[in-house]
Amino acid sequence: MEIVCLQEIPVHRFILGSASLAAVTVVAVVLGVLLGAVKCIIPLNWCAHYSGKRNYILLGWERSNLFSSKVRRFCSRLNRVLLSVRGKMKPSTWFGKLVIAVTFVVGAALMCRGVKYFYGGNDAEEAYPLNGHYSQFTLLTMTYDARLWNLKMYVKHYSRCSSVKEIIVVWNKGRPPRSSDLDSAVPVWIRVEDQNSLNNRFKKDPMLKTRAILELDDDIMMRCDDIERGFNVWRQHPDRIVGFYPRLISGSPLKYRAEKYARRHKGYNMILTGAAFMDHTVAFERYWSNEAKAGRELVDRYFNCEDVLLNYLYANASSSQTVEYVRPAWVIDTSKFSGVAISRNTNVHYKIRSSCLLRFSEIYGSIADRKWEFDGRKDGWGL
Give the separation between CA 108 and CA 116, rounded to whole angstroms: 12
290 vs 80, higher pLDDT:
290
Give the separation between CA 186 and CA 203, rounded to whole angstroms: 22
If asked whether residues 270 and 351 sit together in one domain, one would say yes
pLDDT band, residue 2 (cuts 50/70/90): very low
pLDDT for residue 6: 30
Strand partners, 268: 372
pLDDT in tens, 349-379: 999 999 999 999 999 999 999 999 998 777 7
> What Cα–Cα distance (Å) separates residue 198 from each residue in 213, 217, 284, 299?
17, 12, 13, 7
Report for 17-26, 54-63, 317-326: range of highest mean pLDDT: 317-326
Task: Tell me the CATH number at 351.
Answer: 3.90.550.10
34-43, 97-106, 175-184, 256-265: least confident range: 34-43
Question: Residue 20: inside a domain, yes or no?
Answer: yes
pLDDT for residue 159: 95
If asked whether residues 355 and 214 sit together in one domain, one would say yes
If asked whether residues 199 and 348 sit together in one domain, one would say yes
pLDDT for residue 94: 76
If asked whether residues 85 and 200 sit together in one domain, one would say no
Structural domain boundaries, residue 165 = 137-364
36-40, 106-110, 200-204, 356-360: least confident range: 36-40
Q: Which of 351, 353, 282 is nearest to 318 (CA)?
A: 282
Question: Residue 1: inside a domain, yes or no?
Answer: no
Q: Number of folded domains in the chain?
A: 2
C-alpha gyration radius of the chain:
28
> 3-state secondary structure string, the chain?
CCCCCCCCCCHHHHHHHHHHHHHHHHHHHHHHHHHCCCCCCCCHHHCCCCCCCCCHHHHHHHHHCHHHHHHHHHHHHHHHHHHHHHHHCCCCCHHHHHHHHHHHHHHHHHHHHHHHHHHCCCCCCCCCCECCECCCEEEEEEECHHHHHHHHHHHHHHCCCCCEEEEEEEECCCCCCCHHHCCCCCCEEEEECCCCCHHHHHCCCCCCCCCEEEEECCCEEECHHHHHHHHHHHHHCCCCEEECCEECCCCCCCCCCCHHHHHHCCCECEECCCEEEEEHHHHHHHHCCHHHHHHHHHHHHHCCCHHHHHHHHHHHHCCCCCEEECCCCCEEECHHHHCCCCCCCHHHHHHHHHHHHHHHHHHHCCCCCCCECCCCCCCCCCC
φ, ψ for residue 353, nearest 5 deg: -70, -30
If asked whether residues 199 and 94 sit together in one domain, one would say no
pLDDT for residue 93: 73
pLDDT band, residue 144 (cuts 50/70/90): confident
Whether the full predicted model's pTM is greater than 0.75, yes or no, is: no
Give the separation between CA 359 and CA 368, rounded to whole angstroms: 14
pLDDT for residue 1: 30
pLDDT for residue 147: 80
If asked whether residues 198 and 283 sit together in one domain, one would say yes
Question: Residue 375: inside a domain, yes or no?
Answer: no
The answer, yes or no, to whether residue 277 has pLDDT greater than 50, is yes
φ, ψ for residue 12, nearest 5 deg: -65, -35
Question: Residue 377: inside a domain, yes or no?
Answer: no
Q: How many CB atoms lie within 10 A of CB 209?
A: 12
pLDDT band, residue 99 (cuts 50/70/90): confident
If asked whether residues 208 and 325 sit together in one domain, one would say yes
Question: Residue 369: inside a domain, yes or no?
Answer: no
> What Cα–Cα distance (Å) separates residue 354 from each residue in 44, 99, 249, 316, 347?
67, 43, 9, 19, 11
pLDDT for residue 90: 66
Q: Which of 273, 327, 278 is nearest to 305 (CA)?
A: 273
pLDDT for residue 45: 54
pLDDT band, residue 4 (cuts 50/70/90): very low
pLDDT in tens, 307-347: 999 999 999 999 899 999 999 998 988 766 655 555 567 89
The answer, yes or no, to whether residue 121 has pLDDT greater than 50, is no
If asked whether residues 333 and 218 sit together in one domain, one would say yes
If asked whether residues 166 and 95 sit together in one domain, one would say no
If asked whether residues 308 and 228 sit together in one domain, one would say yes
Give the separation between CA 360 and CA 358, rounded to whole angstroms: 6
Contact indicator for 144, 180 with CB cutoff of 8 Å = no
Of the listed 219, 307, 333, 379, which one is catalytic? 307
If asked whether residues 307 and 339 sit together in one domain, one would say yes
Report for 43-52, 120-129, 130-139, 142-151: range of highest mean pLDDT: 130-139
If asked whether residues 182 and 261 sit together in one domain, one would say yes
Q: For the chain, what is the mean pLDDT?
A: 82
The answer, yes or no, to whether residue 164 has pLDDT greater than 60, is yes
Contact indicator for 111, 25 with CB cutoff of 8 Å = no
120 vs 258, higher pLDDT:
258
Question: Residue 142: inside a domain, yes or no?
Answer: yes
pLDDT for residue 29: 73
**Catalytic site includes residue 181:** no
Give the separation between CA 131 and CA 174, rounded to whole angstroms: 45
**311 burial level (CB within 10 Å; 0-12, 13-18, 19+):** buried
